């Protein structure tokens, strides 16, 4: 991947996945949470923030520092892992959950073809649909998203 930030900017311009890009951007900007004790042991973190070596601190200061948490920027490899995981969840895990939910409902009644979600019983009586899920669409979506995920991973490699 040329540049991860460019990739995320491009995603923000694509309809349908721009919300993923926004979430990724926010996650990556927050950095990796770590205890101050771990940060002290990580040489690269100490170089960036010019911390005194943990061993050189008085015992009281060492104990105080271990109670805190801090963050560090993601490495390039970690950023790629976060992006891969996000797309795995969106393109594989969520469609699989939808399919499993539909199959569970069909166990109760094999004639179920569609589920309609609305805000209240009033809306269902006026036939205003908020969101519907069709079993055939769920199965097609699972296959399509699996193919999209495979293409995405292939592009990354």
pLDDT of residue 22: 92
Supply the pTM of this predicted model.
0.66
Gap between the Cα atoms of 7 and 18, Å rounded: 11
Of 47 and 135, more confident? 135
Helix 94-108 vs helix 135-156: angle between axes, to the nearest 10 degrees? 160
Gap between the Cα atoms of 93 and 86, Å rounded: 10
Instruction: Write out the DSSP string of 68-130.
Output: -EEEEPPPHHHHHHHHHHHHHIIIIIHHHHHHHHHHHHHHH-TT--EEEE-SSHHHHHTT--S
pLDDT of residue 1: 45
Gap between the Cα atoms of 121 and 14, Å rounded: 35
- pLDDT bucket at 132, cuts 50 / 70 / 90: confident
pLDDT of residue 24: 93
Cβ atoms of residues 153 and 84 within 8 Å = yes
**For 142-151, what is each residue's pLDDT tens digit?**
888 888 888 8
- pLDDT bucket at 137, cuts 50 / 70 / 90: confident
Cβ atoms of residues 5 and 24 within 8 Å = no
> How far lies 93's CA from each of 23, 48, 75, 121, in Å?
17, 37, 25, 31
Residue 135 host element (H or E) = helix 135-156
82 has a pLDDT exceeding 80: yes
**For 22-74, what is each residue's pLDDT tens digit?**
999 999 999 887 766 665 566 555 444 555 565 666 777 766 666 666 778 89
């Amino acid at each position: 991947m040329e540049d991860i930030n460019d990739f995320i900017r491009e995603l923000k311009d694509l309809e349908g996945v721009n919300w993923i890009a926004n979430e990724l951007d926010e996650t990556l900007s927050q950095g990796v949470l770590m205890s101050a004790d771990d940060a002290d042991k990580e040489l690269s973190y100490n170089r960036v923030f010019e911390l005194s070596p943990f061993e050189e601190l008085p015992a009281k200061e060492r104990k105080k520092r271990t109670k805190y948490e801090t963050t560090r920027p993601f490495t390039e490899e970690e950023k790629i892992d976060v992006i891969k995981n996000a797309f795995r969840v969106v393109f594989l895990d969520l469609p699989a959950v939808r399919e499993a939910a539909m199959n569970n409902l069909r166990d109760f009644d094999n004639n179920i073809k569609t589920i309609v979600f609305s805000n209240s019983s009033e809306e269902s009586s006026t036939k205003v649909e908020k969101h519907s899920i069709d079993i055939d669409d769920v199965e097609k979506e699972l296959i399509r998203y699996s193919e999209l995920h495979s293409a995405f991973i292939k592009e990354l490699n």
